[in-house]
Structure 1
Amino acid sequence: MLQACLNGSRTAEEHPALPLSPERLAEDAADVAALGVTSVHLHPRDVIGAETLAGPEIATTIATVRAAVPGIEISVSTNVPGTRATLIASWGPLAAGRPDVASVHTGDPAWRELALALHRVNVGVELVVAGPADLRDLPGGITRITVAATPKTAESLLSAVEPLGLPVLLHGRDADAWPVLTYAARLEHHVRMGLEDTLVKPDGTRAKNNAELVALARRNHRARAPR
């Protein structure tokens, strides 16, 4: 699987093509879907541009993106301030405005509570592991493990999560984004790419947009994958 991470917690000042509004996210989602992406990960924003899990904003963002890319998995982040479990509980009746998956970081003290809240509203859990974590007795609803790594930490983190038997998505950020993607391709793990993870191409020059990054990642992944 190649997932596109469209915006993350970045600000508009960091890149002119960063999609923040539902309409811009939908446009970018359509562009990367045309390149073979089957999952998009995004950070919905409220009217002033702050990250949010509030039901109305989640519903508007997800429904707008889903209309542009029906059938594509839509993932959101839960790594935002606020009464997150309560906000997630409000997603139950959102129907087409409810995400398919939401990421939960094991470094968050409330991660098990958040995972349970997501499971209760029928949203899958993308469990993010970036360091040592107690992965015994995992809660229900976990669809995959996302390993956020550097070239130095990838091997040890993978040794901890691979025995769980769940699909693994491996990615890096900023200077580590491209080296980790290459490493993940060799191991045949799922990968992701987009402006959340890096603003530059493998040669260090600034990327035009999400579609350019994803196209390069797809080419890199195919070239590095075992044959």
Structure 2
Amino acid sequence: MLQACLNGSRTAEEHPALPLTPERLAEDAADAAALGVTSVHLHPRDVIGAETLAGPEIATTIATVRAAVPGVEISVSTNVPGHRETLIASWGPLAAGRPDVASVHAGDPAWRELARALHRVNVAVELVVGAPADLRDLPGGISRVTVTATRATAEPLLRLVEPLGLPVLLHGADADAWPVLTYAARLEHHVRMGLQDTLVKPDGTPARNNAELVSLARRNQRARAPR
């Protein structure tokens, strides 16, 4: 699987093509889907551009993106301030406005409670592991583990998560984004790419947009696929 990570916590000042509104996220998701992406990860924003888990903003963003890419998995982040369990509980009746998956960071002291809250509203969990963590007694509803790593930390983190028997998505950020993608593709793990993870192409020059990054990631992934 190649997932497109469209915006993350970045601001509009960081890149002119960063999608923040539901309409721009839908456009970038459609461009990524045309390149073969089957999952998009995004950070919904409120009217002032702040990340949010509030039901109305989640519903508007997810429904708008889903209309543009029916059949593509939509993942959101829960790594935002606020009473997250209460906000997640409000997603239950959202129907087409409810995400398919939400990421929960294993370094968050409340991650098990968040995972259970997501399970109660029928949203699968993407468990994010970026450092050694206690992964015993996993709650239900975890669909995969996303490992955030540098090239140096990737191997020990994989040794931690691979025994769980869940699909693994391995990615890096900024200077590590492309080296880790290459490594993950060689291991045949799921990968991701987009403006959340890096603003530049493998040669270090600025990327035009998410579509360019995804296209280059797809080419990299195919080049390292077993023949």
What's the CA shift string for 1:169-222, capped at 9, x where partnerless?
000000000000000011000000000000000000000000000000000011
Distance in structure 2 (CA, Å) of the matches to 1:48 and 1:183: 38
3-state SS of the aligned residue for 2:116? helix
Spell out the pairing of 1:10-89 with structure 2 (5 A cutoff): 10-89=10-89
The yes-or-no answer on 1:114 pairing with 2:114 is yes
- What is the CA distance between 1:226 and its match in structure 2? 2.2
1:185 is aligned to 185
2:2 is aligned to 2
1:139 is aligned to 139
Report how many residues are paired: 227
3-state SS of the aligned residue for 2:143? strand
Distance in structure 2 (CA, Å) of the matches to 1:204 and 1:224: 21
1:210 is aligned to 210
Distance in structure 1 (CA, Å) of the matches to 2:77 and 2:57: 13
3-state SS of the aligned residue for 2:75? strand
1:222 is aligned to 222
In structure 2, runs of 5+ residues without a counterpart are none
3-state SS of the aligned residue for 1:144? strand
What TM-score, normalized by structure 1, do the two folds share? 1.00
Q: Which amino acid aligns with 1:210?
A: N
Distance in structure 2 (CA, Å) of the matches to 1:68 and 1:150: 33
Q: Over the residues paired in the alignment, what is the CA RMSD in angstroms?
A: 0.4
1:166 is aligned to 166
Distance in structure 2 (CA, Å) of the matches to 1:188 and 1:71: 23
What's the CA shift string for 1:140-182, capped at 9, x where partnerless?
0000000000000000000010011000000000000000000
Distance in structure 2 (CA, Å) of the matches to 1:169 and 1:203: 23
Distance in structure 2 (CA, Å) of the matches to 1:174 and 1:110: 27
- What is the CA distance between 1:224 and its match in structure 2? 1.5
Q: Which amino acid aligns with 1:156?
A: P
Q: Which amino acid aligns with 1:86?
A: T
Q: Which amino acid aligns with 1:48?
A: I
- What is the CA distance between 1:82 and its match in structure 2? 0.2
What TM-score, normalized by structure 2, do the two folds share? 1.00
Instruction: Give % identity.
Output: 89
Distance in structure 1 (CA, Å) of the matches to 2:27 and 2:2: 18
- What is the CA distance between 1:225 and its match in structure 2? 2.1
3-state SS of the aligned residue for 1:79? coil
Q: Which amino acid aligns with 1:59?
A: A
